Amino acid sequence: MRKALLFTCAAALLAGTACAPIEPWVKPYEREHLADPIMSLTPNPVSAAYIDHVYEVREGAKGATGGGGGGCGCN
């Protein structure tokens, strides 16, 4: 009985912790560097789409590039 009570309390404690709001560890005022345009993951979408497709038609693999498109011949 005591073990069950301890287990219930521990589970409740864990659940409470899990549900607590997560404090952002990088505050909004600390994101100056991340907001710099050189940190953009896709600063030039047209160019990125094009070069991804150049790779795609020359290689067997594709996908998970987070972007893509463009075009070139492959025959």
Partner 1 sequence: MRRQSPLLALAGLLLAAAAQGAQLPEERADLLYHRYSGGGITVEGPSVLVRKNFGDSFSATANYYVDAITSASVDVVVSGASEYKERRDQKSLALDYLHGKSTWSASYVESAENDYKAGTWSLGVSQDMFGDLTTVSFGYSQGHDRIRRTIQDQLTGEKFVDPDFQRSIDRRNYRVGVTQVLTRNLLLSLNFETVTEEGYLQNPYRFRRFCVPFCDASTPADSWSTQGEIFPATRTGNAGSGRLKYYLPWRAALDGSYRFYSDTWGIRAHTAGIEYTQPMWGRWVLSGSYRYYSQNSADFFSDLFPFEEAQNFMVRDKEASALKSHTVGIGAAYEFPITWTSWLKRGSVNLSLTHMMIDYSQFRDLRDYPPGSVTPGSEPLYSLDANVIQFYLSLWF
Closest approach, Cβ 15 to partner 1, in A, equals 18
Nearer to partner 1, 1 or 36 (CB): 36
Q: Is 18 in the site for partner 1 (CB under 8 A)?
A: no
- 17 to each of 21, 25, 62, how far by Cα in Å? 9, 17, 40
Q: Does 36 bind partner 1 (CB under 8 A)?
A: yes
Please name the amino acid found at residue 12. A
Under the binding rule (CB under 8 A), the answer on residue 8 touching partner 1 is no
Provide the binding-site residues for partner 1, judged by CB under 8 A.
22-26, 28, 30-34, 36, 38-42, 44-75
